[in-house]
Structure 1
Amino acid sequence: MTVTAQILDQVVEVRRVHDGQFTNIEPEFDGSWPKLTKLEWQCAVVELDCGIRPRVSPALVHVNGVLQPDHFCVAVGGSSISPLSFLDAWTYLNGVAAGVMAARAGGKGLER
């Protein structure tokens, strides 16, 4: 399966590549990307793994009239959450993926 993502002002194909033993995502994650690009890449990975596509956008947060950078909005279906720091947005996206996988598994393995 291939999905698209906005990577550094370009729409690129993101796919999971199988080498017989392991799988990798192409393009590989690049730590030098801007934070919004990293989150867009993670949204594409969630879509590859789960079949649903979260959306991410900058959140405009002002404190005493001063714009606070690096805050994001994440939307899944008709729901959204904002503002989130980069780390909180990344964690939220991981939670979306984990929730979809747990729901598909019928909650198996979640018992305590």
Structure 2
Amino acid sequence: MTRVEDAIGRHIEPAFDSSWDEQTKLRWKAALVAHDTGLTIRLHPHGGPGGHIHYGLTIGEINEGGQSSLSVGPYPHAWDALTYISIGAEAVQRANPSRQVP
């Protein structure tokens, strides 16, 4: 994933495609958050109630100071969790400018 700046403006490549399945959409969102924050984010799909897919997220690396795992639930909850992770990471970066993403 990259942010491209051209004559039209700034955009993400690959662009989001609403026809993707939910897991692909979440992987795209996780890659966007990772790109923008410098965090390592892994998505873990698993079975949930009624046979619906639920998702977990792992943020960080054990060998780089720690790792957090979250069980966030179905697709809309996982999408929201990624948004909140991004907002939180950006707030930390603004509060601690010396910790900016390289």
Normalised-by-shorter TM-score class: 0.7 to 0.9
Q: Given the two structures, how large is their TM-score scaled by the length of structure 2?
A: 0.78
Identify which of 51, 59, 71 aligns with 2:54: 71
Q: Match of 1:80? A: 69
Q: Which structure has greater strand proportion?
A: 1
Higher relative contact order (CA 8 A, sep 6+): 2
Q: How many residues align?
A: 90
| Larger Cα-atom Rg | 1
Work out the CA distance in 1 between the residues paired with 2:6 and 2:75: 31
Given that 1:59 and 1:83 are in contact with CA atoms closer than 8 Å, whether structure 2 keeps it comes out as no
Percent same amino acid at aligned positions?
Answer: 33
Runs of 4+ in 1 over 6 A off after TM superposition: none
Q: Which structure has greater helix proportion?
A: 2
Q: Given the two structures, how large is their TM-score scaled by the length of structure 1?
A: 0.72
Q: Match of 1:10? A: none
Q: Which runs of 5+ in 2 are unaligned?
A: 61-66, 97-102
RMSD value, Cα: 1.8
Summarize the alignment of residues 1-112 of structure 1 with structure 2, pairs less than 5 Å apart.
14-19=1-6, 22-61=9-48, 63=49, 66=50, 68-77=51-60, 78-106=67-95
